[in-house]
Amino acid sequence: MTRRFGRTELPEEIEAMVRRAVRLEWISLAFLASAVTVVYLVMGSSQAMQAAWAEDLLSLIPPIAFLAAVRLTRRRPSARHPYGYHRAVGVGHLASAVALLAMGLFLVFDSASGLLMQEHPPVGLVVVLGHEVWSGWLMVAAMVYTGIPPVLLGRAKMPLARALHDRVLYADADMNKADWMTAAGSIVGVLGIGAGIWWADSAAALFISVSILRDGVTNMRVAAGALMDERAQTYDGNDPHPLVQEVDDAVARHAWVDQNRSRIRDEGHVFHAEVFIVPGVDAVDVEDLTGLREEVAALDWKLEDVVVTVVDEIPEALTAPERSSTGPHDAD
């Protein structure tokens, strides 16, 4: 059965990418469940290990959000949801960002407090198969186990996030790719305790906490912008999406079009496009508008909903210079 995003029938190659992304996220959930268990069993009182465990726990949210969003976005538009259910992607992205931000703030406070109070976490001996082993070595082994697979998974997910224009998948891949820093930081903290450097553990925990907080802030900015109908951006939220210019260029090539601008918003995986045209002729046929709408929709599978309308002037917001930041004049 052909997979859809709402009423958009996906091209065969995109459909294959969706299936692969779903498989990768299920693999991620299975791995993270084992990683959370392993780290919990060996973390002891090390703040760095506790921060790493919290990050692994938070890493469960993006895969769950992605799988839920993909399922919801299959639903067709309805009278209650005329734009479809594509915003589920944005909701999942925002939920992930809020969790990262909240946990990042808490961990930064907790690790900074431990550093200021000069806490000395004990790392003792444990008996393994009848032999006494320093528990720090178990912690290091756990971090090696939890640090390598996420990097590989993140590299596999990143091109899929780009092709599917899925910001939840991108946020997950970006976090996965950076997990080696968490593992390395935890290992340094644990070895620092073994070497008698009491502050190494708290410093490593603070490093991990700041990384979590940074991810939360970045994803919160991108997720909030999309839900507030910011102009369509690339999957990473750094640049205007090239489809905006492609639509304007395609419409401008028609001889009967005098002026035109498009207003495109990101619904999740797909875009809603409104094309405003000031015609250069006295009358425009319905057939011309219908053909133009079909031409624009054919530019890319992500252009699910395209509306073409004739106006006497282009809306001011589409011709005004873009402000680099919000300020008091934005309310005018």
Return per-residue pLDDT of the chain as tens, 332 residues.
456 777 777 888 989 999 999 999 999 999 999 999 999 988 887 877 888 888 888 889 889 999 998 888 888 888 888 888 888 888 888 888 888 888 888 888 877 887 787 766 666 656 667 667 777 788 889 889 988 898 899 999 999 999 999 988 988 888 887 778 778 888 888 888 777 777 887 888 888 888 888 888 988 888 888 888 888 888 888 888 999 999 999 999 999 999 999 999 888 888 999 999 999 888 888 999 999 999 999 999 999 889 999 999 998 888 766 654 444 444 44
b/e per residue 24-62 (b: at least 16 CB within 10 A): bbeebeebbeebbebbeebbbebbbbbbbbbbbbbbbbb
Q: Where are the domains of the chain?
A: 4-227, 242-322
Apex CA 263: angle with CA 219 and CA 253, to 5°?
A: 130
- pLDDT at position 260 is 93
For residue 33, give both structure tokens: 């469940």
* pTM score: 0.82
**CATH label, 242-322, candidates 3.30.70.20, 3.30.300.30, 3.40.47.10, 3.90.1150.10:** 3.30.300.30
- Is residue 107 packed enough to be buried (19+ CB in 10 Å), middle (13-18) or exposed (0-12)? buried
DSSP category for residue 315: -
4-227 maps to CATH 1.20.1510.10: yes
> Helix crossing, 61-72 with 167-177: angle to 10°?
160
Enclosing H/E stretch for 309: strand 303-310
- pLDDT at position 261 is 94
3-class SS of residue 293: helix
The rounded radius of gyration (Å) of the Cα atoms in the chain is 25
Measured in degrees and rounded to the nearest 5, phi and psi for residue 304 equal -75, -45
CA distance 79 to 25: 32
Within 8 A by CB and 6+ apart from 278, the residues are 257, 258, 259, 260, 310, 311, 312, 313, 314
- pLDDT at position 326 is 43
Residue 35 · residue 115 · CB < 8 Å: no
CA distance 186 to 182: 6
Apex CA 239: angle with CA 234 and CA 303, to 5°?
A: 40
DSSP 49-80: HHHHHHHHHHTTHHHHHHHHHHHHTTSPP-SS
Apex CA 157: angle with CA 168 and CA 12, to 5°?
A: 95
